[in-house]
Structure 1
Amino acid sequence: MVSSLRPARLTVLLATAWLATSCLEPPGVGRAADPTRAPGPAPWGSATSNAELEKKRALLEDVLDGELTAEGLAARLQKDWPELDTDQRARSLVGVTTVLEDLTKTGRAGKPVAPGPDREMAVAQLYFSERRFIEAATILSRVLDLAPTYPQARNLLARCFFFLGNRDRTIEELEFVLNHPEQQKDRGEVLDALFLLGAAVAETPGMSRENLQKARGAWETYLKIAPADSPSRDHVQKGLVDLEAGLRGEGPLAQPLVPVAAGDDDGATAPTAPLPAAATPPAATSNTARRVEQLPADATPLARAVAEGWDALDARDLATAETKLKAALKQDGKSPEALTGLARVFVQTGRNDEAMTHFDKAIAQAPGYMPALHYRGMAKLMAGDPAGAVASWEQIRTKDPAYFAQFNLEQRVAVARQMSP
């Protein structure tokens, strides 16, 4: 095994509750019989198009074949990506350049990496960094067939399953790491698995009591063995409070999951209604209250359509929500509440590009309308773009600190920052 090809430990965490309750459309499905070869834009959820990914894969293969070293890297990047400046290349190609840096540090740069787990792991890391979770999981499964305890491979596979909406398989893979005597020798890998197991449950409302107990045990163990200066300690300590509440049948973790075929972008700490703005109906006062019933008798048709649309979203009636919110936008195409609500519909029905367009329109029309930034961050994270989620939520920190605190976005930002590979 080659430790230089391992992912950075404790840097990629699981998504938050609203991601956990999502059913993500598999990247590229529907575009072609082999989605990895389909032309056109990036598959939904992916960071890059298939053509761009092939260029990065070719660059990585040259590194792994020993044909490209650090000395020749800059010229190669300039040749293949002339449209990008130096900083853009660094950000876009970090999945490849990190491998080259690791090989250089260990004196293996310029030497071919033989076919096998080391090489496959490097390719899997590239696909994961490009948010191609199905492809990454397939490669990692091959690695683990050959080497069941290959360093960090199973933790990375668990992350893939989480992003693909398979929580049970996520927990199963992490438990393997925690129970296998060989993997117990790597303290960093164990800490990573303990954190991830706790997060998989603590950030997911409606998990079973058995899983809540597993998560509590994982995080209690984490606190016992993690270094005193671990940046995740504070998150774990706060999360344990929520786990204990869930075991008592209290708090967001005690709420049942609502199965929906099209996916759900909402979570336990998400805003439950549009917050005050020009045409916003009153927020629901309980889980069963409907906004439309709280409207005054003289409410405008716009306010009524927005209220009905958001009520339909609460009921997971996406067809009605889309109809009502589109009707609202016909009356006022600049309504941030209607734009945000319709963007949520698009997220839940797999139309991510349209969703982002509508979120951006809402923010442009009403920069102070925090739910648009909040939900856009959630959608970014669901698409495997934690950096985009952080950028959206950091705007809330600056513009409305009270809102930022109300929805505990500090904790979400901290988790999202560590999710980036």
Structure 2
Amino acid sequence: MKILWLLLFLACSPKPEPKPSYAMAEQLFEQQKFIEASKILSFLLDDQPTLPGARNLLARCFFFLGNPNRSFEELEFVLQSSEPLSEASLDALFLMGAISLESASLRSSNDIKGEQAWKLYLKVSPHTDLKAKVQSGLAEIQMLKNPKKATDLARSYIQNSNPSKALLIFARLLSKHPHYVPAWHYQGMAYVMNQDPQNAIRSWKQVLQRDPAYARRFKLHERMRIAENL
């Protein structure tokens, strides 16, 4: 009887929680559960600050959680604590450049670091399979420094039915050049194509506030009335 009760007790007892592991964090990341993955990675890194791959993955989590500047902190730690040509270092350099290109909320100092990281990446890994992507990204980073060229690039994405890419460029451009009125104008066009008339109206209101003559020339009042009925 005692053995039976013992077996029943063991069967009914709650199973112990699995010990957090890097594999578990990877699985959560693949499921886009970035908060849960970042908690496990932070726990692991508290005990093993240089756990291979963990800090790079944590940087990715912070990017998808909307905190690219924290991503840079993690990646800079990787560069400081890893061998220069290690897989972790090369991955960190690539990620810094990619985040600089894709994020609209990165500090200007980190923007500069991201561009430098990609240049260094090409220097130390000249035969990488990602060479064409990095070179294209660097060209786009350069273009974003010129408001007119960046706006022209974004318009080309609109013309090719890719409003999401255009909106990303406008977000980055306007975070650095908020007074460049044509960017607000064509951002509104991208929002219309993206079926977001309310944000289109908000963009065009920026034009009205900043340059009423420009707004009249391009008949933005009429566009706003049309957008209100979409």
Give yes or no for contact 2:45–2:54 (8 Å, CA) kept in 1.
yes
Task: State the Cα deviation string for residues 82-113 of structure 1 (Å, max 9, x = none).
Answer: xxxxxxxxxxxxxxxxxxxxxxxxxxxxxxxx
Shift of 1:149: 0.6
> Gaps (5+ residues) in structure 1?
1-57, 62-114, 259-267, 276-280, 296-302, 309-327, 329-337, 339-421
The answer to whether residue 226 in structure 2 is matched with residue 293 in structure 1 is: no
- 1:139 aligns with 40
The answer to whether residue 129 in structure 2 is matched with residue 129 in structure 1 is: no
- 1:195 aligns with 94
* Cα RMSD for the two superposed structures: 3.4
CA distance in 2, matches of 1:212, 1:286: 29
CA distance in 2, matches of 1:186, 1:220: 14
Other structure's SS at 1:224 match: helix
Which structure has the higher relative contact order (CA within 8 Å, separation 6+)? 1
Shift of 1:160: 0.7
**Pairing 1:30-109 to 2, within 5 Å after superposition:** none
Other structure's SS at 1:231 match: coil
**Pairing 1:19-34 to 2, within 5 Å after superposition:** none
Task: State the Cα deviation string for residues 12-40 of structure 1 (Å, max 9, x = none).
Answer: xxxxxxxxxxxxxxxxxxxxxxxxxxxxx
- 1:205 aligns with 104
Shift of 1:185: 5.9
Task: State the Cα deviation string for residues 134-171 of structure 1 (Å, max 9, x = none).
Answer: 11000000110111011110010011111111121111
Task: State the Cα deviation string for residues 22-75 of structure 1 (Å, max 9, x = none).
Answer: xxxxxxxxxxxxxxxxxxxxxxxxxxxxxxxxxxxx9xx6xxxxxxxxxxxxxx
Please point out which of 133, 136, 141 is paired with 1:238: 136
Other structure's SS at 1:150 match: coil
The answer to whether residue 49 in structure 2 is matched with residue 152 in structure 1 is: no
Give yes or no for contact 1:206–1:257 (8 Å, CA) kept in 2.
no
TM-score by length of structure 1 reads 0.35
Give the number of aligned pairs: 167
Give yes or no for contact 1:161–1:167 (8 Å, CA) kept in 2.
yes
Shift of 1:192: 1.0
Q: Cα–Cα, structure 1 residues 224 and 165, in superposed 2: closer, same or farther, change >3 Å?
A: same
Please point out which of 167, 174, 181 is paired with 1:255: 174
The answer to whether residue 120 in structure 2 is matched with residue 221 in structure 1 is: yes
- 1:312 aligns with none
- 1:274 aligns with 193
- 2:73 aligns with 172
Higher mean Cα deviation, 232-241 or 167-176? Answer: 232-241
- 1:45 aligns with none
What amino acid is aligned across from residue 244 of structure 1 in structure 2? Q
| Identity score, percent | 37
TM-score by length of structure 2 reads 0.61
Shift of 1:294: 2.8
CA distance in 1, matches of 2:176, 2:40: 31
Shift of 1:218: 0.2
CA distance in 2, matches of 1:141, 1:179: 18
Give yes or no for contact 2:60–2:71 (8 Å, CA) kept in 1.
yes
Q: Cα–Cα, structure 1 residues 233 and 287, in superposed 2: closer, same or farther, change >3 Å?
A: farther
Give yes or no for contact 2:85–2:124 (8 Å, CA) kept in 1.
no
The answer to whether residue 205 in structure 2 is matched with residue 307 in structure 1 is: no
CA distance in 2, matches of 1:196, 1:131: 18
CA distance in 2, matches of 1:141, 1:167: 16
Other structure's SS at 1:198 match: helix
Shift of 1:212: 2.0
CA distance in 1, matches of 2:137, 2:206: 24
Q: Cα–Cα, structure 1 residues 256 and 166, in superposed 2: closer, same or farther, change >3 Å?
A: same
CA distance in 1, matches of 2:220, 2:120: 48
Shift of 1:249: 6.4
Q: Cα–Cα, structure 1 residues 246 and 274, in superposed 2: closer, same or farther, change >3 Å?
A: closer
> Gaps (5+ residues) in structure 2?
1-14, 151-168, 178-186, 195-199, 208-214
